[in-house]
Amino acid sequence: MAKAKSAFVCTECGAEYSKWQGQCSSCREWNTLTEVRLSTSRAGVAPATGGRSGYAGAVSREVIDLAAVDLSEVPRFSSTFGEFDRVLGGGLVPGSAVLLGGNPGAGKSTLLLQVACKLAQQRSALYVTGEESLSQVAMRAHRLQLPTQGLKMLAETSVETILGVAERERPQVLIIDSIQTMHLEDIGSAPGGVAQVRESASALTRFAKQTNTVLLLVGHVTKDGTLAGPKVLEHMIDASLLLEGGADSRFRTLRGQKNRFGAVNELGVFAMLEHGMKEVKNPSAIFLSRTEEQAPGSLVMVVWEGTRPILVEVQALVDESALGNPRRVAVGLDPNRLAMLLAVLHRHGGLFTGDQDVFLNVVGGVKVLETSADLAVLLAVVSSLQNRSLPRELVVFGEVGLSGEIRPVPSGQERIVEAAKHGFTRAIVPRANAPKSSPTGMQVIAVDKLAEALEAL
């Protein structure tokens, strides 16, 4: 019998140590080291000798000159969902490992089951479920009215068994639902632990690289919204996607957090309907479902998500505070940036909100991560503070600096064109983003300072 070995792994950064210590020397976090019991034999499979060629970048054992490396692009194939392909950077790459995370009920299993059933009509696919029985999966597929012919199913949690079946079936797409339920026989810990998740993902990823199989892993998230399991799991995979959406909303957003084959922060939008996930090709249309009566504090801004502009509505509510420390609440935006923008508004706009509660909300559940929303946020706050409605045909974007200047943002002209397509006729933008010739019917107001933007209202 092989002699058991153990190591201590940090659950935050993945650093390894030979003995336990209170603080991780890499990330400086306390009490994050967990013992991982390993054996000298690791689960895995030998490199494929026949069939599809191996993943050269991962399993090549020959030393070659960098100039001799074949630069031909790895052929991608569609996942059958345009929004899914967009987030992936153009489609699925053979030999890649993709991790799909999300809250319980977000629709991870539903989305991947739809992908698997549609892909099985063109390619070989193996769907491994460790959380449900085969009858439960079949009932869901029947309810969603999916084509079930050709999709191979396996209800198993043992990685060794899964690898044996995959070696025999040789699927082009392998889906594991979920990685937290998988386990290796020679790892002496419960499924879902640091050791099991780490070694199971490593064995499955190694198989995908050696056989040019597309590996799709389902991962759960913790209460703070991060993927459960060791941090080193994110370094093993090629792409990490997060499916977001509350139980009170039928819309789901798929955002790329890491992608070795495309741009990060790309956004895909889906609608959860009776027959499963349906992609939303025009997200601006659903985020602009506004009421007929224009209310103070409501304004439309243009944000850039990945490779396309999206129009979203931001709402602000400013009310007199009954507390000694007024509240600053932002849903969909960074609360710290809101506090900074309010200070800029006071210093360079002459409007004081220190005795007011300020609430901010981005309609539709979208999380805005870029700074182009600064100017729209401030103008919405001013509208609510002075109880004056802004024109419905007005759209705003621009970054606000600490000295009150309005800085340009990337792809400014594309944002203006997108706003014009949706019927907006006025835009307040940074001067550097103002086009030489405005789109037909669009009046562009270019500003350099916050005071100019306030006067333009």
Strand order in the sheet with 239-244: 152-155, 125-129, 173-177, 214-220, 97-102, 239-244, 251-259, 267-273, 276-279
- The answer to whether 195 is a known ligand-binding residue is no
- Give the N- to C-terminal CA distance of the chain in Å, as an integer: 78
Residue 5: count other Cβ atoms within 10 Å of its Cβ.
11
What CA dihedral angle connects 432, 433, 437 and 441, to 10 degrees?
A: -140
- The answer to whether 239 is a known ligand-binding residue is no
- The answer to whether 387 is a known ligand-binding residue is no
- The answer to whether 391 is a known ligand-binding residue is no
- Residue pair 427/396 in contact (Cβ under 8 Å)? The answer is yes
- The answer to whether 350 is a known ligand-binding residue is no
* Residue 414 to residue 308: CA distance in whole angstroms: 8
- Residue pair 201/185 in contact (Cβ under 8 Å)? The answer is no
Full DSSP string of 271-302: EEETTEEEE-S-HHHHHT---SS--TTEEEEE
**Beta strands 308-320 and 298-305: pairing type?**
antiparallel
Say which residues have a Cβ less than 8 Å from residue 335's Cβ, sequence separation at least 6: 328, 329
* Residue 310 to residue 303: CA distance in whole angstroms: 5
Residue 146: count other Cβ atoms within 10 Å of its Cβ.
18
**Beta strands 5-10 and 97-102: pairing type?**
unpaired
**CA neighbor of 77 nearest in space, from 105, 113, 110, 119:** 119
- Alpha carbon 222 to chain centroid, angstroms: 15
E strand map for 156-222: 173-177, 214-220
- The answer to whether 219 is a known ligand-binding residue is no
Helix (H) or strand (E) holding 159: helix 159-169
* Crossing angle of helices 374-385 and 335-349, rounded to 10°: 70
* Crossing angle of helices 159-169 and 194-211, rounded to 10°: 10
CA distances from 432 to 213, 419, 445 (A): 47, 18, 11
Q: What letter does residue 180 receive in the DSSP assignment?
A: G
- The answer to whether 106 is a known ligand-binding residue is yes
Report the residue count for the chain: 457
- The answer to whether 75 is a known ligand-binding residue is no
What are the binding residues? 102-109
Binding-site residues for ATP sit at 102-109
